[in-house]
Structure 1
């Protein structure tokens, strides 16, 4: 019999209400059997997304030599990780890589470049790359991830045909300085705000396995809720040798699944994406994670290799799911919880919220 806690979490999620902190912490603990936790999260996932799995792919436009010092990143300042290092690839090459993934089933192409943020020439390169991809695949979603954005840059990306902008919060604000000193949590929130204001779909998630506590996990989930993202990538730390977090192997498959379940309850009708590190940390339970996440990355990541795309597609089919087509809508059509009718301020007897 499903427990009172899990029934409560499911009922809240189906009404698009979030868990109480105490409920979230209990879910991350071991009081509820893992199979029951997954089954409860799966009820919510199927209500809003059915049996569909959305495929996404990454094109690493510029690799390594980043001036930022994010401790989890193999491209960081001072990294001794032996990853690929190269300057910008040509738009035509990026379009070729993207095209291979689209033909393999990818619905979204994520264009990513290392660095603090884009310069004028960088934006031009991305604009040309979007045009090259769209000329062959006009219906594919283009997501861009270039770091911190300055005034007007998000608007240029939107005008060029970008669909989304990705910029992860990564961890809770209270411990952000523990993993990065060259920019702040607030800088990241500001960039997501710029992207949203420009009409780009906000994509933001987190990385787990960096020594965070259960409270930290809840805190970053709440911070992400404030951003109202359309997609939330859930990454599990890939511990590269030569980085400050290269010796952290804290995660178990069960821990990963409980985190994914928590994010499904916090983001019931939002695209929850199973992202970096899934092969390493979920191992034989990757297909189980599909009962919680409705989206995955296909192929390789920024600086590490993923499992073969054919294996991913077979895993999806074997688990009883179907690959989402380009003509299908990912997010549920109705999100009435986001519409708050004004009942205060002008025209009422109540004060405004200014």
Structure 2
């Protein structure tokens, strides 16, 4: 049966009704579905809550490596075959300075990430001071991703001024055992519950491209709706040679379908383009802004990513607006024809 795209839009925008699983499966499984019409329908759902606004988020890897966990996708895992620089948590001054720089770029939220299973109480002491300084001195919204956290720790961070705590589900409950053995899916759920009980906003999403099934993707999308998670980053596996999980068969079309699915099931949540967007969405990144309303800039934890300026240009070229940033003056048209950083427009063999 042909897909009724208007029906997808109508059902998804009815916040009192849950998006039917039958339609969710159709979004991912129907080979005849028209991706452009699907993106248009998801865009209408996104527009109802967020209009044309796009939020910029930036990650600061404040502690790298030194991790006892064995997540198969991660270059910082204890068994990862990577020659990564390891360092203990950065000092307050560095983290605050980088927060100032992020705000100057037009970043909406500053996301600090620390490797490890979870923070000690001593680490929480340090982080509460850092968060308070950023709140008082910079005035940018903050998010922490620091592993497994209990309610007491989350409460202390909330009292220091933290806005949001991130802890990704990453994949479905049944697929978690294929990804990691040093913690459980329930451990992740417990951390999100602790954050909510402490009054923190939560952020949790998925990494796609790790061998998950359609059912796994659908389960995560519905679980995040059930938990009323307001911020959902969708990451696309960056294949790092040497990691236990380093192969993926994602296509730009598959990525768009997944983003649309998360938008239909979570119509009022912030859907963010995360790690791997550049390599997996490629020339279709601007289309991804129809289901998504947020994007990471300036790279990720250990992998490179697009800088702020070209990302802002992409957003504006697609007719969207960066939240909190005045429209940038377009550069001269000739600058958009640079290839390999060569400003010459004419072919070399066509000039004297």
Task: State if a TM-score over 0.5 links the two structures.
Answer: yes
The alignment status of 1:96 with 2:84, answered yes or no, reads no
Paired position in structure 2 for 1:80: 81
The answer on whether the counterparts of 1:18 and 1:265 sit within 8 Å (CA) in structure 2 is no
In 1, Cα distance between equivalents of 2:3 and 2:25? 15
In 2, Cα distance between equivalents of 1:310 and 1:96? 20
Paired position in structure 2 for 1:148: 148
Paired position in structure 2 for 1:255: 254
> Normalising by the residue count of structure 2, what TM-score does the alignment of the two structures yield?
0.89
Q: What is the CA distance between 1:131 and its match in structure 2?
A: 2.3
The answer on whether the counterparts of 1:81 and 1:242 sit within 8 Å (CA) in structure 2 is yes
Paired position in structure 2 for 1:118: 119
The answer on whether the counterparts of 1:56 and 1:298 sit within 8 Å (CA) in structure 2 is yes
Paired position in structure 1 for 2:338: none
Q: What is the CA distance between 1:119 and its match in structure 2?
A: 0.4
Paired position in structure 2 for 1:21: 21
In 1, Cα distance between equivalents of 2:145 and 2:24? 30
* Residues 282-297 of structure 1 aligned to structure 2 (within 5 Å): 282-297=281-296
Tell me the alpha carbon deviations over residues 59-118 of structure 1, each in whole angstroms, 9 at most, x when there is no partner.
111001210111111111111123332111111101111211111111111111000000
Q: What is the CA distance between 1:312 and its match in structure 2?
A: 0.6
Paired position in structure 1 for 2:209: 209
Paired position in structure 1 for 2:305: 306
* Residues 128-139 of structure 1 aligned to structure 2 (within 5 Å): 128-138=129-139
In 1, Cα distance between equivalents of 2:237 and 2:231? 19
In 2, Cα distance between equivalents of 1:111 and 1:203? 13
1:282 aligned counterpart, secondary structure? helix
In 1, Cα distance between equivalents of 2:251 and 2:190? 33
The answer on whether the counterparts of 1:143 and 1:166 sit within 8 Å (CA) in structure 2 is yes
The answer on whether the counterparts of 1:13 and 1:44 sit within 8 Å (CA) in structure 2 is yes
1:152 aligned counterpart, secondary structure? helix
* Residues 18-97 of structure 1 aligned to structure 2 (within 5 Å): 18-29=18-29, 30-97=31-98
Q: What is the CA distance between 1:276 and its match in structure 2?
A: 0.9
Paired position in structure 2 for 1:177: 177
In 2, Cα distance between equivalents of 1:236 and 1:84? 23
Count of matched residue positions in the alignment of Structure 1 and Structure 2: 323
The answer on whether the counterparts of 1:84 and 1:303 sit within 8 Å (CA) in structure 2 is no
In 2, Cα distance between equivalents of 1:157 and 1:237? 30
Q: What is the CA distance between 1:163 and its match in structure 2?
A: 0.3
Paired position in structure 2 for 1:235: 235
Q: What is the CA distance between 1:222 and its match in structure 2?
A: 1.4
2:25 aligned counterpart, secondary structure? helix
Q: What is the CA distance between 1:121 and its match in structure 2?
A: 1.8
2:57 aligned counterpart, secondary structure? strand
1:174 aligned counterpart, secondary structure? helix
Q: Identify unmatched segments of 5+ residues in structure 2.
A: 326-352
Q: What is the CA distance between 1:4 and its match in structure 2?
A: 4.8
Paired position in structure 2 for 1:162: 162
The answer on whether the counterparts of 2:176 and 2:184 sit within 8 Å (CA) in structure 1 is yes
Q: What is the CA distance between 1:133 and its match in structure 2?
A: 1.6
Q: Name which of structure 1's ranges 252-261 and 307-316 shifts more when overlaid on structure 2.
A: 307-316
Q: What is the CA distance between 1:257 and its match in structure 2?
A: 0.3
In 1, Cα distance between equivalents of 2:196 and 2:166? 11
Q: What is the CA distance between 1:249 and its match in structure 2?
A: 2.5
Paired position in structure 2 for 1:281: 280
Paired position in structure 1 for 2:200: 200
The alignment status of 1:189 with 2:189, answered yes or no, reads yes
The answer on whether the counterparts of 1:92 and 1:132 sit within 8 Å (CA) in structure 2 is no
2:309 aligned counterpart, secondary structure? helix
> Normalising by the residue count of structure 1, what TM-score does the alignment of the two structures yield?
0.89
Q: Identify unmatched segments of 5+ residues in structure 1.
A: 327-354
In 2, Cα distance between equivalents of 1:104 and 1:254? 31
